[in-house]
Amino acid sequence: MAISNMPRTAVTDDAPAISRSLARAFDDDPMMRWFFPEDATRVASLGGYFSTIFTRQYARNAVCERTESAAAFWVPPEAQAKAVPDAETIQELMIILGDRAGAFRDAVEAAASHTPREPHWYLALLGADPAAQGTGQGAALLRSGLAKADAAGLPAYLESSKEANLSFYEHFGFTVREELELPGGGPVLWAMWREPRHPAGA
């Protein structure tokens, strides 16, 4: 694996590179298009959105890793109560979302109501710049997080908002647990679950 594709811990100084990669990764995502419907401004808005949640929310309380053109934010069970946006972060997000802020709030609340109660590692976000497609960066980040969950003997959970990505996650052992239709005519989220795998020789 190329050095640039090796997962490494993401720090706040990485925010510009991470937000660029994620904005490009999610430009065609149904949920992000629901939140940011204007084609002309979507990538810029997504950049602000991802920069905000990374620097103010996940970099502080989650396991954040990156490669040259991809990033993943994982929340272990002991951090899930802390890895939520504070009032100032929410205010920043509301400004970025504009008149879609209400739809965003309703979607977050709907998804949260279906979060599994048992301890798990939560994949809050995984994305790779489409220009890096086929280089294995997203898969490397997914393997890295799953190895940590497996080492802890814990399952993993995610919500995919893009049906085309389901087979990718299924390849790594996830199965669809539930289909959630977001309120207000929003898109579908696929809740996916993966039981822990014991390390070789364990």
**Cα–Cα distances in angstroms (integers) from residue 12 to residues 60, 66, 121, 135, 197, in the given order:** 9, 12, 22, 25, 31
Q: Mapping DSSP to helix (H, G, I), strand (E, B) and coil, where does residue 62 land? A: coil
Rounded-to-integer distance, Cα 177 and Cα 189, Å: 11
Average pLDDT over residues 149-170: 96
Supply the CATH classification number for the domain 3-194. Answer: 3.40.630.30
Mean model confidence pLDDT for the chain: 93
Phi, psi of 179 (to 5 degrees): -110, 125
Q: Which residues pair with 8 in a beta bridge?
A: 66
Asked whether 183 and 106 are in contact (CB, 8 A), the reply is yes
pLDDT of residue 201: 47
For the chain, domain boundaries: 3-194
In this structure, the number of other CB atoms found within 10 A of the CB of residue 112 comes to 9
Tell me the pLDDT band of 94, cut-offs 50, 70 and 90: very high
DSSP letters, 66-132, are: E-SSEEEEEE-GGGTTTSS--HHHHHHHHHHHGGGHHHHHHHHHHHHTT--SS--EEEEEEEE-GGG
**pLDDT tens digits for 10-29?**
999 999 999 999 999 999 99
Tell me the pLDDT band of 81, cut-offs 50, 70 and 90: confident
Rounded-to-integer distance, Cα 62 and Cα 80, Å: 8
Task: Give this prediction's pTM.
Answer: 0.93
